[in-house]
Amino acid sequence: MSKWDLSVFYSDDQAWEKDFELLKGKLSKFQDFKGKLGDFESFKAYHLFDEEVTHLLYKVYAYAHLGSDLNLKDTKKMNMNQQVGLTLSQLSQLTSFISPEIIALGEEKVLSFVEKDDYLKPFKFPYQKLFRSQEHILDAKSEGLLSNFSAIRNIPTSLYQALSVIDRKDETIKLSDDSEVTVSQAQFRALIEDAKTPEDRKKIFESLYRKYVDNKSAFAATYNLVLQQLSANVKNRQYESSLDAALFGNNIPTSVFHNLKDAAYENTHPLKRYIAIRKKALKMDEYFTYDRFLALAKSDKKYPYEEAKQLFIDALNGFPKEFVDNQLDALKDGFVDAYPQDGKRTGAYSSGFYGHHPFILLNHNDTLDSVFTLAHEAGHSAHTIFSDKAQPMPISDYTIFVAEIASTFNEHALLDHLLKKSNSKEEKIELLTMAIDNICSTFYRQTLFATYEYEANKLVQEGQPINEQNLSQIMINLYKHYYDLDITKEPGKQYVWAYIPHLFYTPFYVYQYATAFSASLKIYDNVKSNEPKAFENYIAMLKTGGSMYPVDEAKIAGADLTVKETFLSVIKRMESLLDQLEALLDS
């Protein structure tokens, strides 16, 4: 059954409503602990109560959130989901005293409480993290003043959403064959792939980017707000830089970021080689960034969900039983919603709630790409299963920094299996280009955007004006260096910085895709090379959850992100794939 079974949470909405009311009734009791956490018994009682509420919250939230995503047109489910969101905001306000009060007790006293009780011992690492952040926490009066600006911090996000989504009007354009198409964000790639002439591709691209051209000053002013907020945070909390502030919480050395940035910047030759191969195969005199969507080969083969699932399972042949069992568990009936349906949320994800089996949402369309998406999300769910089995709730939740290691490891294994299995030249070309495109987008493109963020923040640090010309010039320079392409020949492309929502919503986030991808490839190479204990070490990492800092977790699995050599595994992999692709195209 490729549908979710949400009855594992509640038999119906009425049962959910009963627990939701119970949850709301419990929230005010957090205030009973205010001013009492210095007493050991109250300290322990608070944690027991918090765990009780969290378990109930996970159950209530999961049912409402997952149910709403199955049909965004269902106003009742959407309302339930929104009610939980409001309750979460209330919970945040009611518990805002906890961290300051615990910090006021002092690290020595808090850790002595933790050490004397088996139930509290798992909280040691979270509290060590909290006290480590103390150097950047201000006095109570200053923190109170800063909290008055909390609502303002969301303004850049709201402005960006208004500009890019809410006020967006998708254009309908006429193509060379007199057909009319509406150019939307969702359809853009498919339209480029199907376009019959270079002129049509250009017209489609310019239509998509027109809103960024027309609103370039507004997007630049919005991004300036993001940059100025980051700068103010650096000054207020006495960080060295915006990058340092972004990495501090998870104790990620800035060398990790710079190793990634420099490894990609110094090794752009595979990108330029790939473009040259594509130009030759597609018989192009001039190549534009949007031409990357053109297929070098396209197989008509379809991969229904059950067949895709079996292909992934076959790719796990020879892997340790514990690893395979958890991947199979991830795809168990009732926990995967496979196919698109009217109103269903787009995209794909794995969603986990401690104490419950994780759920996978797919929009499987029987393409080769959707087979890889299945493997990717299975990796996330299996990671959650490993973590939840091995760790108690306080230290079960792993970070984004390591999350993508588990998902992309599965993709590497699936690719190798399909390449070995395929007897079709067209299918092999399609597989190789998919793998190469994945490296281009996940490693190179995300690192380019991360480098852009770094350079844009330097403009603020150096007192340079933040305007669309300066922001665009960074992109023009980076695209020329990475791809040897002049994006000023593509009207609108220089505003690609306005096209990337992560830059506005979650600064210094995108680099994590590239670091995780690099780590997973290094780990996978170790496994393929039969290095001693390579798979055993990888499984050990999957079990660490949130019990240590993420760079240390990756090291357990054999990927040291503090050295540049780890990132060079990606360069080596891409060169190997390019060799295979070129040989096939020339055969």
- We report the CATH number of the domain holding residue 112 as 1.20.140.70
- Residue 573's Cβ-count burial label (10 Å; 0-12, 13-18, 19+) is buried
**Whole-number CA gyration radius for the chain:** 25
Contact 397, 546 (CB under 8 A): yes
For the segment 15-29, the average pLDDT, to the nearest whole number, is 96
Total number of domains constituting the chain: 2
| Of 98-107, 129-138, 140-149, 334-343, the least confident | 140-149
- Is the pLDDT assigned to residue 567 strictly greater than 90? yes
Per-residue pLDDT tens over the stretch 116-141: 999 999 999 999 999 998 888 777 67
| Of 291-300, 354-363, 537-546, the least confident | 291-300
| Within-domain flag for 378 | yes
| Within-domain flag for 264 | no
Boundary-marking domain end, from 350, 379, 403: 403
Local structure of 174: helix, strand or coil? strand
How many residues are there in the chain? 587
| Within-domain flag for 213 | no
Task: Work out the number of other CB atoms within 10 angstroms of the CB of residue 185.
Answer: 12
Angle in degrees, CA 106, 110, 111, rounded to 5: 115
Per-residue pLDDT tens over the stretch 172-210: 999 999 899 999 877 788 899 889 899 999 999 999 999
- Is the pLDDT assigned to residue 422 strictly greater than 90? no
| Within-domain flag for 95 | yes
| Within-domain flag for 411 | no
Residue found by looking up tokens 């290095």 in the block? 531
Residue found by looking up tokens 């059954």 in the block? 1
Residues 350 and 360: their CA atoms lie apart, in Å, by 4
Domain holding 83, by residue range, is: 6-137
Contact 417, 315 (CB under 8 A): yes
Residues 439 and 274: their CA atoms lie apart, in Å, by 11
Boundary-marking domain end, from 403, 424, 446: 403
- Is the pLDDT assigned to residue 346 strictly greater than 90? no
| Within-domain flag for 197 | no
- Is the pLDDT assigned to residue 144 strictly greater than 80? no
| Within-domain flag for 444 | no
- Is the pLDDT assigned to residue 1 strictly greater than 70? no
Boundary-marking domain end, from 137, 163, 182: 137
Which tokens hold the place of 32? Answer: 């009973």
Strands (E), 123-251: 171-174, 180-183
Q: How far is CA 542 from CA 129, 143, 538, 558, 563, in A?
A: 21, 37, 6, 12, 22
pLDDT score of 345 = 85
| Within-domain flag for 451 | no
- Candidates 446, 578, 460, 458; CA nearest to 506 is 446
Contact 9, 62 (CB under 8 A): yes
Residues 413 and 521: their CA atoms lie apart, in Å, by 10
